[in-house]
Chain A
Amino acid sequence: MPEAVGMLAVLLVFGFAVASTALYAAWDLFMFLTLWRAGRFGGPRGLRPAPPPLVRESELPRVTILLPLYREDRTLPYLLASVHRFDYPKDLIDAKLLLEEDDQITWRAVARLHGTRQANVQFELLSQGLLVRDNEGREGTLVVDLVGVPLGTPKTKPRALNFGLKWARGDLVTIYDAEDRPECDQLKKVAAYFRVHPDPRLACVQCRLNYYNPDQSLLTRLFTIEYTMWFDSFLPAWERAGNVVLLGGTSNFFRTDILRRVGGWNPYNVTEDADLGVRLARAHYRTAVIDSTTWEEAVPRLRPWIRQRSRWLKGYMQTARDHLRRPVAMVREVGPWKTLSVAILTLSPFLNFPVLATWSLFVIYWVNWLWPGPLAPVAETIQAGYSHSLLVYYASMGTFAAGILLTWMLSITTIAARASRLRDPEKAAAMWAKMKFAYLLPLYYFLFFFPTCIAAYELVVRPNFWHKTTHGVSLPDTTEAVP
């Protein structure tokens, strides 16, 4: 019996090694080909430059800004101040605060705003909505509609967004989360981009996201580097290579008519943004990623980070489940390359299991080799497992090393590129200071094992459960866009 268990363990090691190596090698290869195809390996040059906002005011479109909030009393005034600070005619901004009817916390926070001055603006609650004006009154008055989202299930952000979409009056629709701090000229840049690219297939413009509290903890530093890599280097190259863009949660600007035509957001997907990106592609629309940033808040502690990440991973799994269940149909609709791109990204959470497990085997083996001890039986099983095939052994080693080296390279080049582009020496120095943390990124990826487990569990047990991320933990003192 023990021999059978031992044999099973050896085969399990070997199976893990084969599966992870094949999957990870395929993933690496596809990523490399994508970056190669885009010709933008290792830099933000793939970002579509936002045209200078030179559009005349009479040509500016009306923009609906949806602000879905749930239990967000701390961040509310800062968010509204950020929207007010947009360099955009206030009468062309159709801002809507989407509040769940039973969300007493946020409703009360709205009521408390009446007559107050916070975050350099003053608030006035009237029957037509919430009025936001700057203290000097020079920049005009922003009217924010208060929309109560009726009770219903699933109680998710996309459901609230769909409700808000019904009342949208703008030519473009965008979303900001409670903790968002968009750059002031973002609306004008997007409007200009749509104007100089009158492509009827252009449905969405995605702005970059980044974090304004990178130095709060080691986790936020690593999280910021990861996010910078994603939005500065990877996503632009991904889009340029003709792949399907899985949208970020906020700061994506849709043409309202197209958004309504594709049916809005999927309320049953906890990453409705990713799902919508795929649905736009399946309807033969395209998304552009432009050079304008919205600053968000990175969760500074491990437990909320795991919860947030598990929701994202679960959402990707749901997206894979919804769109890849009929792969032939998808290939017919968008072609094999785009289907593969969706599969590669949405199935990547599943990769974490075998890949991290296999990498852990190496760590165990070498720790035992250098310091023999209680891990010896496990190390022997690992060696026996790998002895079935040298090819698998070297391939596992190769993918392990290549994964670390590619992560380092991509993060280093991203940080250096971003720091070099910043004209303000203070901001550039802050970015350069992040460089040393890039080398810890492989360790950060090992953390993915925990949210992946939770995501897989919840995908089965409670697929629509939405892990609420607490915002406002590290509110900045100002509503200025923070680099």
Chain B
Amino acid sequence: MADRRQDTVVFALAQGIQGAVLAWLMASGYLQAYNFVVSFGDPISHLNVARRVFDSSTPGLSQLGGIWLPLPHLLFLPLALDRSLWLDGLSGALVNALLLSLTTVYMARIARMLADRWAAYLVVPALLLNSRTLVLSATAMTEISYIFFSALSAYYFLRWAKEKRWQDLVATGVITFLATLTRYEGWALPVIYTIAAAYILFRDYRGHPVARKIIEGHLMTMAPSAFLGPLAWLLWNAIIFRDPFHFITGAAAASESKVVGGVPLDPGGAVVVFANSTLLYFGPALLCMAMVGTAGHWRLTGRKDLPFMFLLVSPVFVTLFALTNGQASGPFGVVDLRLVSYLAPPVALGLAVLPFLLRGVHRRRLALGLVLLVITCTFTVEALSPFHQITPYSFNPQISPDRYLQTFDDTWPYHEAGVWLGDHYDYGTILVGVTGGKEIIMYYSGLDLRTFIDNGNRKYFQPALVEPRSYAAWVIMSKRPLTVLDDPVARAWLDSTTGRPRVAFLDAFSLRFQNAFVAIYHIKPEASVPPASAPSPLAPAPLSQGVAAPGPRAFPPSPGPTTVAGVPAAPLTSHARGVILPLLPSESSMEVRP
């Protein structure tokens, strides 16, 4: 009964803090909607992927997948149904804020289970006061989903290790399945849980005559569910792309990302990047304290308890593999704080168990002191590195301008192009290869995604690359030297043998906008009569009720559906709905760069 009361106290406390934090996150997320939350490529891509499931010229679940794992997008999807929540990024931020709140609940329970109620109280601020974690939760990123599912699975696994209830083992398997569908770091969890469960069972049943059957039965209770996620993902890739390893070999994976700067690191370099990122994410003081707490806890509990760090830091191997394989970003010397975000729960736990280690000390005072220390350290880290910098950047001022939003600077031309497109769009579909920052153009144009023909609409995209005038009234193309090779539209424009531009490709179009990164072409009025065979020539984009919907920036009203050169414009949806099986492999999935 006493335990239950204490749990209730912990729960209430966690809820209270979460409520306040949730409110802060919502305010923060909303205020920053125009200059940060959706200022760089990844959150925009995540939001667009979720939105494309129903807002696309080929809608359906096949829009999920490709490189990114699908569960975060499925979580964002319900709120992305609303245009305003999609365009200001809250459809992702709200989900992340909620998941972070739930994470603190389960972290408090883990801390209670491993130590005492003071640890449960302390782990909540230790987790939530990390500004980088909060920033991730205020954007439409996928890290928070992973943190939530990994913490949840760790809670059930640790409870199973302690109480040996089969229900916890089943729950571990199911939740690990979900974790493996959020981020690739999660693919370490089935392996680590299986090894850990085998070790615990072997320890418990050593010498028992029927040990093998019991261990096997327990592992079969959990492991197949846990491994089902990666297997299902391979199957999905096989069905959609005819290649189970498409997420490794496909367009936006490592092999292609080398073209635009994803550089494989040697093992030493990978470790340095990882260490730099970890130090910058938590700061050296908190990191050292957390390590002391973890080691001390393990020693104090007589090493009978499984070291929780062992479970929660297991994705380190995946991260190092990704860095050495070029799947993660950046040349040597660059840090990427998102790569180490999953360390936030174990570090918070390591801090939280510190009062538990110091017996005989007034724990309430100690806990309060630790909270103050955490706050101080966090702000110290803030002073060293602004919390905005969760995206890859370099320490080297020669490479990185002395500004906060270096990433924002990198993507600004795409913002500009998107806003221009939203302002000047009149009619017709838009041909675009979704690579580099072009998701940003689509997003900042404020146009419905079904207006675009892109990689995710293979049925129209492939013929449109051959003869764009029959399918599109607009063409968006990369200009930036490195990204040209990555852009299928630009590649289609270049002659494959001579490498020179094909005149016929764009002779029906005139250049209407360009900046350093992109060029936007519009069809010439006299060239807009489509061939009879075209499925949807120059169809007007079905903007919401004929009026351009409000985007991240204000746009003038659209003239609405019009006719071109006397040809009545058929609505795009006449061929886009009801004839395509998005999940059947006739359509490809969106391929975007993670």
Residue B368 is within 8 A (CB to CB) of chain A in the complex: no
A387 interface hit (Cβ, 8 Å): yes
* Minimal beta-carbon separation of A74 from chain B (angstroms): 31
Interface of A, helix, strand, loop or mixed by DSSP: helix
Stretch at the interface among A82-90, A189-197, A291-299, A423-431: A423-431
Complex: A218 Cα to B586 Cα, angstroms: 38
Which parts of A415-463 form the interface with B (CB within 8 Å)? 415-417, 419-420, 425-426, 428-436, 438-439
Q: Is B170 an interface residue (CB 8 A)?
A: yes
* Contact among A366, A408, A433 with B239 in the assembled complex (CB-CB below 8 Å): A366
Q: How far is the CB of B588 from chain A (nearest CB, A)?
A: 13
Give a binary string over A404-422; 1 marks a CB under 8 Å from any B CB, 0 the rest. 0000110011011101100
B571 within 8 A of A: no
B453-478 interface (Cβ within 8 A of A): none
| Closest-CB distance, A443 to chain B (whole angstroms) | 14
Are B213 and A430 closer than 8 Å at their CB atoms? Answer: yes
Q: Using an 8 Å CB-CB cutoff, how does the interface string of B105-123 with A read, 1 for contact, 0 for none?
A: 0000000000000000000
Q: Does B399 contact A (CB under 8 A)?
A: no
How many residues of A are in contact with the other chain, CB < 8 A?
A: 37
* Interface-lining segment among B26-34, B520-528, B561-569, B573-581: B573-581
Contact B578–A370 (Cβ < 8 Å): no
Interface locus among B214-222, B259-267, B380-388: B214-222
Least CB distance from A412 to B in Å reads 6
A434 to chain B, nearest CB (A): 8
Decide if B220 touches A397 in the complex (CB within 8 Å). Answer: no
B192 to chain A, nearest CB (A): 21
Contact of B216 with A390 in the complex, beta carbons under 8 Å: no
**A390 engages B224 (CB within 8 Å):** no
Q: What mask results when residues 2 to 35 of chain A are scored 1 for a CB within 8 Å of chain B, else 0?
A: 0000000000000000000000000000000000
Known: A383-B586, A432-B213. A412 touches B221 (CB 8 A): yes
Q: Is B358 an interface residue (CB 8 A)?
A: no
A429 to B170, CA, bound (A): 18
Assess the A413–B170 pair: CB atoms within 8 A.
yes
- A366-B239, A383-B586 are contacts. A389–B213 as well, Cβ < 8 Å? no
* Contact between chains at A435 and B217 (CB < 8 Å): yes
B169 at the interface (CB under 8 A from A): yes
Q: Which residue of B lies closest to A370 (CB)?
A: B238
- Please give me the residue from chain B that is nearest to A365 by CB atom: B584
**Do B584 and A425 touch across chains, with their CB atoms under 8 A apart?**
no
- B210 x A370 contact (CB < 8 A): no
Other-chain contact of A387, B214, B218, B238, B579 (Cβ < 8 Å): B579
Is B216 in contact with A433, judged by CB distance below 8 angstroms? yes
B214 touches A436 (CB 8 A): no
CA gap between A322 and B125 in the complex, in Å = 65
Instruction: Answer yes or no: A253 CB below 8 A from chain B CBs.
Output: no
Given A369-B239, A432-B218, verify A439-B580 contact (CB < 8 Å).
no
Q: Which residues of B contact A387 (CB under 8 A)?
A: 578-581
Given A428-B214, A435-B220, answer yes or no on A383-B238 (Cβ-Cβ < 8 Å): no
A393 within 8 A of B: yes
- Shortest beta-carbon distance from B582 to chain A in Å: 7
A369 contacts which chain B residues (CB < 8 A)?
Answer: 239, 242, 584-585
Partner of A386, one of B217, B239, B581: B581
Instruction: Contact check, B61 vs A394: say whether CB atoms are below 8 A apart.
Output: yes
Report how far A413 CA is from B169 CA in the complex, Å. Answer: 10
> Which one of A383, A413, A429, A430 contacts B581 once the chains associate, using CB atoms below 8 Å?
A383
How far apart are the CA atoms of A393 and B586 in the complex, in Å?
14
- B166 beta carbon closer than 8 Å to chain A: yes
Return A172 CB to nearest CB of chain B, in Å: 35
Given A369-B585, A416-B169, A390-B221 contact (CB < 8 Å)? no
Contact in complex: B581, A390 (CB < 8 Å): yes
Residues on the A chain within 8 Å of B166, using CB: 413, 416-417, 419-420
- B217 with A429: CB separation less than 8 A: yes
Q: For A366, what are the chain B residues with a Cβ–Cβ distance below 8 Å?
A: 239
B170 touches A416 (CB 8 A): yes
Question: B174 — which chain A residues lie within 8 A by C-beta?
Answer: 409
Tell me if A390 and B214 are in contact (CB < 8 A).
Answer: no
**Which residues of chain A are near B210, meaning CB under 8 Å?**
425-426, 428-429
Contact with B along A367-402 (1 / 0, CB 8 A): 001100000000000010011111001100100000
Q: Is B99 an interface residue (CB 8 A)?
A: no
Distance of A379 Cα from B72 Cα, bound (Å): 32
Q: How far is the CA of A412 from the CA of B219 in the complex (A)?
A: 11
A185 to chain B, nearest CB (A): 26
Contact with A along B210-236 (1 / 0, CB 8 A): 100110111011001100000000000
Q: Which residue of A lies closest to B60 (CB)?
A: A390
A393 touches B583 (CB 8 A): yes
CA distance A417 to B218 in the complex (A): 11
**Interchain CB contact under 8 A, B213 and A433:** yes
Which of A42, A365, A429 touches B214 (beta carbons < 8 Å)? A429
Please state if A370 and B239 are interface contacts (CB–CB under 8 Å): yes
State the Cβ distance, A427 to closest chain B Cβ, in Å: 9
Query: Does B5 belong to the interface (CB within 8 Å)?
Result: no
Query: In the bound complex, what is the Cα–Cα distance between A271 and B563 (angstroms)?
Result: 70
Q: How far is the CA of A144 from the CA of B211 in the complex (A)?
A: 44
Instruction: Return the chain B residue nearest A439 by Cβ.
Output: B224
Interface membership of chain B positions 343-355, coded 1 if the CB is closer than 8 angstroms to chain A and 0 otherwise? 0000000000000
Cβ-closest chain A residue relative to B205: A425
CA A399 to CA B581, docked complex, whole Å: 17
The residue from B59, B165, B221, B578 contacting A435, defined by CB atoms under 8 A apart: B221
Contact of B4 with A by CB under 8 A: no
Chain B neighbourhood of A439, CB < 8 A: 220, 224
Measured in the bound complex, the distance between the Cα atoms of B214 and A441 in whole Å is: 21
Is there a chain A Cβ closer than 8 Å to B208's Cβ?
Answer: yes
CB distance from A417 to the nearest CB of B (A): 7
Q: Mark B237-255, 1 if CB is under 8 A from A, else 0.
A: 0110010000000000000
Cα–Cα, bound, A365→B586 (Å): 12
For B220, give the chain A residue with the smallest CB separation. Answer: A435
In whole angstroms, how far apart are the Cα atoms of A88 and B128 in the complex? Answer: 65
Report if A432-B214 is in contact (Cβ < 8 Å); known contacts: A387-B580, A416-B169: yes
Is there an interface contact between B217 and A425, defined as CB atoms closer than 8 Å? no
Report the Cα distance A429→B213, complex, angstroms.
Answer: 5
Which residues of A have CB within 8 Å of B220? 435-436, 438-439
Q: For the complex, what is the distance from the CA of A416 to the CA of B225, rounded to whole Å? A: 14
> When the two chains form their complex, are residues B581 and A436 in contact, meaning their CB atoms are under 8 A apart?
no
Give Cα A431 to B208, complex, Å: 16
Contacts of A386 in B (CB 8 A): 581, 584
Shortest beta-carbon distance, A372 to chain B, in Å? 10
Q: Which of A408, A432, A438 has the most CB of B within 10 A?
A: A432
Chain B minimum-CB-distance residue to A401: B232
**Closest CB of chain A to B47's CB: distance in Å?**
22
Give chain B residues whose Cβ lies under 8 Å from the Cβ of A393.
581, 583-584
Q: How many angstroms from the CA of A389 to the CA of B214 in the assembled complex?
A: 48
How far is B213's CA from A432's CA once the two chains are assembled, in angstroms?
6
Contacts of A415 in B (CB 8 A): 217, 221
CB distance from A223 to the nearest CB of B (A): 19
Residues of B participating in the A interface, judged by any CB pair closer than 8 Å: 59-61, 165-167, 169-170, 174, 208-210, 213-214, 216-218, 220-221, 224-225, 238-239, 242, 578-586
Can you spell out 27 A-B residue pairs with CB atoms less than 8 angstroms apart? A42-B170, A366-B239, A369-B584, A370-B239, A383-B581, A383-B586, A386-B581, A390-B582, A394-B61, A397-B583, A408-B225, A409-B170, A412-B170, A415-B217, A415-B221, A416-B167, A416-B170, A419-B166, A420-B166, A425-B214, A428-B214, A429-B217, A431-B217, A432-B214, A432-B217, A435-B216, A436-B217
In the complex, besides A390-B582, A429-B210, 12 extra interface pairs with C-beta distance below 8 angstroms are A383-B586, A393-B581, A393-B583, A393-B584, A394-B61, A409-B174, A412-B170, A413-B167, A413-B170, A432-B217, A436-B217, A439-B220
The 6 closest A-B pairs by CB, nearest first: A432-B217, A429-B210, A416-B166, A429-B213, A435-B220, A433-B213
Residues on A facing B (Cβ under 8 Å): 42-43, 365-366, 369-370, 383, 386-390, 393-394, 397, 408-409, 412-413, 415-417, 419-420, 425-426, 428-436, 438-439
